[in-house]
Amino acid sequence: EAGVAQSPRYKIIEKRQSVAFWCNPISGHATLYWYQQILGQGPKLLIQFQNNGVVDDSQLPKDRFSAERLKGVDSTLKIQPAKLEDSAVYLCASSQTSVRHGYTFGSGTRLTVV
């Protein structure tokens, strides 16, 4: 089975610029997650989708971050404008309906804001 696909792998932008990340989950996985992993820390959930609806976005900085999952498949995470502290790896994961199956993670996008 194909894994979770993410692009780009790396991105370097200047502060105040905008950036977008793309994720294609495993086919048939209803739930999609975006996590932010700052260097030296564990992943932190930004947003969770169930099909094309948002389940939890309580930790998403909505003044600058936005995410969508059109048609319940692919998802895009956007940052506008970026700040230095947004430098991190952005991980996309997908899972079947229940968390008991665990997640499958993509390789992530490493963002550097300079």
Partner 1 sequence: AQSVTQPDIHITVSEGASLELRCNYSYGATPYLFWYVQSPGQGLQLLLKYFSGDTLVQGIKGFEAEFKRSQSSFNLRKPSVHWSDAAEYFCAVGANAGNMLTFGGGTRLMVKP
The residues that touch partner 1, with contacts defined as CB under 8 A, are 4, 31, 33, 40-45, 48, 50, 55-56, 91, 93, 95, 97-100, 102-108, 110
- At residue 57, what are phi and psi to the nearest 5 degrees? -135, 30
Strand 109-113 and strand 10-13: the pairing is parallel
Tell me whether residue 10 or residue 14 sits nearer to partner 1 (CB atom). 10
Which C-beta is closer to partner 1: that of 82 or that of 91?
91
**In angstroms, what is the minimal distance from the CB of 96 to partner 1?**
9
